[in-house]
Amino acid sequence: MGKRIGKFGLVNYVDHPTNKDYRIFNFNTELEADLFEKKLTEKNIWFERDEEEHENAIVYLFAVRDREFGKAQDANFMVSAETRRNIIPIAFFRYFLIIFVLAVITLAIVGYMKS
């Protein structure tokens, strides 16, 4: 996903700085930008695409009309889902963590029941 540019840095979109009828989505990689463009085209959403250099990196920007923001946000979520990586990349450690947490919860419940 793009740099988190919202008020608290939680989202990759903001209102257009000069025209409040538009929202700006941004992405860091060309793969994400191309995928987002494809999703917008499939949903027949009008958009403008631009590239901008920000902190020595290229940021891909998309302007979408505010009235189509809901559909564009769905496309944004789909891009996020298709390009995200696992937080814990090694499967063994992922499953170990799940088993460990379940064991701690089980011990906590058994300890509570016995006291």
Question: From CA 13, how far away is CA 27, in angstroms rounded?
Answer: 9
With cut-offs at 50, 70 and 90, classify the pLDDT of residue 100: very high
User: CB-based contacts of 51: which residues, under 8 Å, 6+ apart?
Assistant: 58, 59, 60, 61
With cut-offs at 50, 70 and 90, classify the pLDDT of residue 14: confident
With cut-offs at 50, 70 and 90, classify the pLDDT of residue 6: low
Stretch 7-25: mean pLDDT? 84
Question: From CA 16, how far away is CA 90, in angstroms rounded?
Answer: 40
Q: Of 3.40.50.720, 3.40.50.1820, 3.10.20.90, 3.30.70.2750, which CATH number belongs to 1-84?
A: 3.30.70.2750
Q: Is the pLDDT of residue 4 over 90?
A: no
Domain ranges of the chain: 1-84, 88-115
Question: From CA 8, how far away is CA 29, in angstroms rounded?
Answer: 22
The answer to whether 100 and 92 are in contact (CB under 8 A) is no
Which tokens is 19 given?
A: 């025209």
Q: What is the pLDDT of residues 44-94, one digit of tens each?
A: 999 999 998 888 888 899 999 999 999 999 999 999 899 888 889 999 999
Q: Is the pLDDT of residue 34 over 60?
A: yes
Average pLDDT, the chain: 89
